[in-house]
Structure 1
């Protein structure tokens, strides 16, 4: 009996090892989209982020005096640029922009608690995209849903931090409420769709800065020659 046990023990160890490897492989496959999302997230954020505080304001009323039935918008703007008023307006704007750039106030971006939505339109556009890369396929891999972990969301800008959407009021009250922190935008993301080789992917992202003030982007990603995920192409999908 003891000899039999000694003979079966190595077999048991090998079987257990193979089983564990299989489980880890299945888990790795299930988490693939999540792993890629966190890796490429800083680049995705760079693709959609904009600080509306440094977007130039519209020209003042003085600009419009150059416009009449015989002058189009471009010509009127060029005329305004030749005036002393424009020089003063531009100098004041540069000071404002510089002040914002030097401001150390934390910029908060609000993110969904989980990534779970998918876009059928992305599937069609993605097939066109991978066709351009001479990698045609009708077999796509859609990532699993997963809960976002704030500690894994990295940004190339030190001032940016993240908060969960569930921590704030719902609906329009989110934007109507006064906060003691600066909230720049609310973000949204779709699950990443991959081609069957897992070398190309697409994710849909939204950047909303207020009621009727935001935009969406379709972001195509790919592996570079070093095996790192990078943003390859960005398309606008909607604007409000």
Structure 2
């Protein structure tokens, strides 16, 4: 009977320690996201005024048999001058970009986790498998006075086609989502996924590698993992 009590006490102690460790990981993650959120957005976003605006193509001239014999350079020169002038104005536009942000810091997908796992292998580091897997929420209130960006939760935008302009682009500057952070066992390196959506079928995914330097977490490297 006494042996059973000892075993039970050990099991409970391990459970409490494990729970405390997961809660600690969650608090660390929240602090990191809060401190690096704007910098991460700035690193992975695209300005759709520039990113989704393309230079004009010249009109192709064909002969009577349908063979290409040249291009209409006269009209093209006029259009490219206008495009370049507009491009300079777009680059100088300092109006704030509005981003729709996923409320949840989501659990990485199987594909994303494999990418993170592979990166840790290249670093010859072991993943901390005890990290908390609970999806937490980003608090946007603390970023409301940012000088460059405006943020709203994606859930605050109208559902369905109402979020799109007539040309298929978002009525805002794009969507942003971040995954939970996967740490190494010593919690000196962390990797999370960052996603930027510029249209319903246009987006870019990244691995964001962070490192603890002088007791502060900093972005060490960002690698693109997918684009559509």
What TM-score do you get using the length of structure 2 for normalisation?
Answer: 0.69
Alpha-carbon shift at residue 195 of structure 1 (Å): 1.4
RMSD (Å), alpha carbons: 3.7
In the alignment, which residue of structure 1 is the partner of 2:89?
Answer: 99
Cα pair distance change 1:238/1:194, threshold 3 Å: same
Cα contact 1:142–1:192 (8 A) shared by 2: no
In the alignment, which residue of structure 2 is the partner of 1:50?
Answer: 46
- Say whether 1:116 aligns with 2:106: yes
Cα contact 1:32–1:143 (8 A) shared by 2: no
Bigger-Rg structure (1/2): 1
Q: State the Cα deviation string for residues 62-108 of structure 1 (Å, max 9, x = none).
A: 3x459x9899xxxx9xx99xx67666544423321222233343321
- Say whether 1:175 aligns with 2:164: yes
In the alignment, which residue of structure 1 is the partner of 2:31?
Answer: 35
| Stretches of structure 2 lacking an aligned partner (at least 5 in a row) | 1-18
Counterparts of residues 21-32 of structure 1 (less than 5 Å): 28-32=24-28
Cα contact 2:49–2:90 (8 A) shared by 1: yes
Cα contact 2:204–2:224 (8 A) shared by 1: no
Q: Distance in 1 between the 2:149 and 2:68 partners?
A: 47
Counterparts of residues 198-217 of structure 1 (less than 5 Å): 198-217=187-206
Q: State the Cα deviation string for residues 189-224 of structure 1 (Å, max 9, x = none).
A: 221211112122222222222232323223233334
Q: Distance in 1 between the 2:128 and 2:94 partners?
A: 47
Secondary structure of the residue that 2:174 maps to in structure 1? Answer: strand
Secondary structure of the residue that 1:236 maps to in structure 2? Answer: strand
Cα contact 2:112–2:193 (8 A) shared by 1: yes
- Say whether 1:160 aligns with 2:149: yes
Q: Number of matched residues?
A: 202
Q: Distance in 2 between the 1:35 and 1:97 partners?
A: 38
* Match of residue 60, structure 1, among 53, 57, 60: 57
